[in-house]
Amino acid sequence: MTLILATITPGKAEIFASVQGEGPSAGVPCTFMRLSRCNLACVWCDTAYTWHFDGDDRPHRGGGTFARAPNQLRMDEAEVADLVASLGQQRLVITGGEPLLQAPALTRVLDVLQSRLTGLFVEVESNGTTKAPPALDAFIGQYNISPKLSHSGNPADLALIPERLRSYAADPRAWFKFVVATPDDVTEAAMIVEQHAISPERVFLMPEGTDSATIRQREEWLVPLCLQHGFRLSDRLHIHLFGDERGT
């Protein structure tokens, strides 16, 4: 059985130790595991190498596409568990792409890891359009749900599924992170929060951007909007520390 992972370099899975750069656990030491494939196509996605492969004509601001072979790696589930365990971190952040698309394989990996890493805490980053089946859900301590706004380029009927949003809103493990580029995006996010009874205290606004200057500029006008709506502000620490690079 295999898991389909993104790569840092051809043949090297994007599994690495660092600190979380975003959301409620920003700054916490962890192991990251980035999976390949996504069911959405955000025009500003900064990990387009996980889904925008040659032949995919969905728009992306980067313009080009990625060859699948050097950017996608099938790895035996036992090998994945061995690599994660070898990094020695008690928190595992599973990201993508959309990681829940590979729920059965993830469940098997986490089942092995639970016996190898004492106190393992699992954090899953998802676009909120799907849900973990019960066997996987039992392993997850935190969901970071990032609903995609209209500026992502995704149709609302694909990106914002009311049943899913209501389910995550009722789950105390779920936090919500909205990627925003303009004040109008914040207005849209606030409407979604109200419509689906999402607790404002569990909502983060995060500036879209892949360089420090853009992030800092947008945070200047985001702070008063966070105060207005009772939302939290999420920085992107990894961008400031390492730049827009894989494996960071």
Distances (CA, A) of 157 to 52, 129, 150, 210: 21, 10, 11, 27
Angle at 63 between CA 58 and CA 65, to 5 degrees: 70
Q: CA–CA separation, 246 vs 248, rounded Å? A: 6
**Residues with Cβ < 8 Å from 226, sequence gap 6 or more?**
205, 232, 233
**Looking at the domain assignment, is residue 27 inside a domain?**
yes
Report, as an integer, the average pLDDT of 45-71. Answer: 96
**Looking at the domain assignment, is residue 230 inside a domain?**
no
Predicted local distance difference test score (pLDDT) of residue 70: 98
Report helix, strand and coil shares of the chain as percent, to nearest 5: 40, 25, 40
**Looking at the domain assignment, is residue 139 inside a domain?**
yes
Predicted local distance difference test score (pLDDT) of residue 124: 98
Domain count, the chain: 1
**Looking at the domain assignment, is residue 218 inside a domain?**
no
**Looking at the domain assignment, is residue 133 inside a domain?**
yes
Predicted local distance difference test score (pLDDT) of residue 1: 83
pTM of structure = 0.97
Instruction: Look up the domain containing 88 and give its range.
Output: 2-178
Report, as an integer, the average pLDDT of 191-199. Answer: 98
**Looking at the domain assignment, is residue 10 inside a domain?**
yes
The CATH number covering residue 97 comes to 3.20.20.70
